[in-house]
Amino acid sequence: MGDIIRTIMMAGGKGTRLRPLTLVRPKPMIPLVNKPIIEYTVNKLKKSGFNDLIMTLNYMSTNIKKYFKDGSEFGIDIRYSVEKWPLGTGGSVKKAEKYIDDTFMVVSGDVLTDVDFKDVVRYHKEKGAIATMVLTEVEDPTHFGIAVMDRDHKITEYLEKPSPEEAFSNVANTGIYIFEPEIFDFFDDKEKEVDFSKDIFPEVIKQDAGIYGYVFDGYWNDIGRPETYLEATYDILDQKTDQNFYKTKMEESIGKIGNIWVGENVFIDEKARIEGPVVIGNNCTIEEGCKISRGSVIGDNVSIGKDVNIDGAVLFPNSIIEDNSFLNGCIIDTKCLIDKNTVVENGVVTGSLVEIGRNSIVRSSRSITNNMKIVPNSIIDSDYVLEAK
């Protein structure tokens, strides 16, 4: 099979920390600069020559299958392994074992990274490893699994999501692995929830079977929370990560400066001011007096009224923002209505089909679930969340 190997992409998680965005779609399908998060990795795999992909699915699996189908539109061959119930990171890969007969790669469907997949495979073969884990340094290791390596980069200690007191390393697991089929010897045959980090890796280390760390110092973001989602958005716009970019770039003119990428059939009033980097999707209308500032992403079919100020906010498709409203560093899901003279502060996340009445203020970092209607003249300073059924 040479260096190009089969890839298992884990795309079954519920993404609870990104609710309400994940109430109507699985986490990998959240739009990131107007295309699903997972599509960045699919494109990267294709570009690197990894054309044989198995996606492991569970939560809202049909959403992903409908989008990618057999993968031919994306130049890649995709098969699916659908779990009836969540099997964990290890269990989902074990369920796809029937597709595996040689060295294989495992990646997550909800990360953004510049790691060189081919180089990781080369390193894995060089080490003669049963498993290779891609690692990167992070500031706060408490959100991740952390590892300690010996001089030969063999992993000697591993701990998942340590408390600050337990953190013996800031070298974190990126969720990208190369395995030999022998990794399945560490599983039993039952279909049950098994986690690589909690159940499999400690056993591989204990038996000294040969798990190595590939330390990577380029771009990596696991997009687990609203703040890391916004960070990934800004990083793509600032081109801090090498991603396939977006549609047509506007020429600079009076009031239109910086990188401004626009889709088709977009109306932008000549008296609107835009300061890039900004992305504007298809069929959008931006009225006079609007100011759209750096870091903003406007989805398809969005209508923005007069004198609206959008500063580093992300608007998913089919929403309406009425006159004189101010949106700052927030995420607005699909089909929302933000009525006149409304302020939506930094870190707010709304679900889809939310209506916020005129003259309202939504305080920073609040969450408003799907289908909520907020009456005019409201001040929202607590979350409006319904549990998903």
Whether 57 is in a domain gets the answer yes
Name, in order, each residue with C-beta under 8 angstroms of 31's C-beta and a sequence gap of 6 or more: 37, 299, 316, 317
Strand partners, 94: none
Whether 1 is in a domain gets the answer no
Whether 243 is in a domain gets the answer no
Residues 55 and 181 in one domain: yes
- The DSSP element (H or E) to which 62 belongs, if any, is helix 61-68
Are 216 and 174 in contact, with CB atoms under 8 Å apart? yes
Q: C-alpha angle 263/269/274, rounded to 5°?
A: 70
Residues 266 and 217 in one domain: no
Residues 203 and 260 in one domain: no
Are 260 and 244 in contact, with CB atoms under 8 Å apart? no
In this predicted model, what pLDDT tens digit does every residue of 280-303 receive, in sequence order? 999 999 999 999 999 999 999 999
**DSSP labels for 332-355?**
E-TT-EE-TT-EE-TT-EE-TT-E
**DSSP labels for 136-172?**
EE-S-GGGSEEEEE-TT-BEEEEEES--TTT----EE
Residues 75 and 189 in one domain: yes
Whether 336 is in a domain gets the answer yes
- Give the mean model confidence (pLDDT) for residues 366-389: 83
Residues 276 and 229 in one domain: no
- What local confidence, expressed as pLDDT, does residue 389 receive? 37
Whether 385 is in a domain gets the answer no
Residues 187 and 271 in one domain: no
- Mean pLDDT, the chain, rounded, equals 89
- Give the mean model confidence (pLDDT) for residues 150-166: 80
Q: Examine the pLDDT at 329 and tell me if it is beyond 90.
A: yes
Residues 26 and 172 in one domain: yes
Which of 176, 206, 237 is the endpoint of a domain? Answer: 237
Q: Peptide bond preceding 317: is omega within 30 degrees of 0, i.e. cis?
A: no
Q: In CATH, what number is assigned to the domain containing residue 82?
A: 3.90.550.10
Are 24 and 69 in contact, with CB atoms under 8 Å apart? no
Instruction: Please give the Cα distance from 22 to 41 (Å, whole number).
Output: 19
In this predicted model, what pLDDT tens digit does every residue of 246-283 receive, in sequence order? 668 888 888 999 999 999 999 999 999 999 899 999 99
Instruction: Please give the Cα distance from 326 to 321 (Å, whole number).
Output: 9
**Into how many domains does the chain fold?**
2
Residues 233 and 289 in one domain: no
Return the SS3 of 288.
coil
- What local confidence, expressed as pLDDT, does residue 388 receive? 41
Return the SS3 of 100.
coil
Tokens 């990794």 sit on residue = 183
Task: Supply the range of the domain harboring residue 199.
Answer: 6-237
pTM: 0.90
Residues 219 and 263 in one domain: no
Residues 198 and 291 in one domain: no
Residues 133 and 161 in one domain: yes
Which of 187, 204, 237 is the endpoint of a domain? Answer: 237
**DSSP labels for 5-52?**
-EEEEE-----GGGTTTTSSS-GGGSEETTEEHHHHHHHHHHHTT--E
Instruction: Please give the Cα distance from 27 to 35 (Å, whole number).
Output: 12
- What local confidence, expressed as pLDDT, does residue 1 receive? 41
Q: In CATH, what number is assigned to the domain containing residue 332?
A: 2.160.10.10
The helices-and-strands tally (H runs, E runs) of the chain is: 6, 36
In this predicted model, what pLDDT tens digit does every residue of 161-175 receive, in sequence order? 767 676 777 788 898
Are 325 and 342 in contact, with CB atoms under 8 Å apart? yes
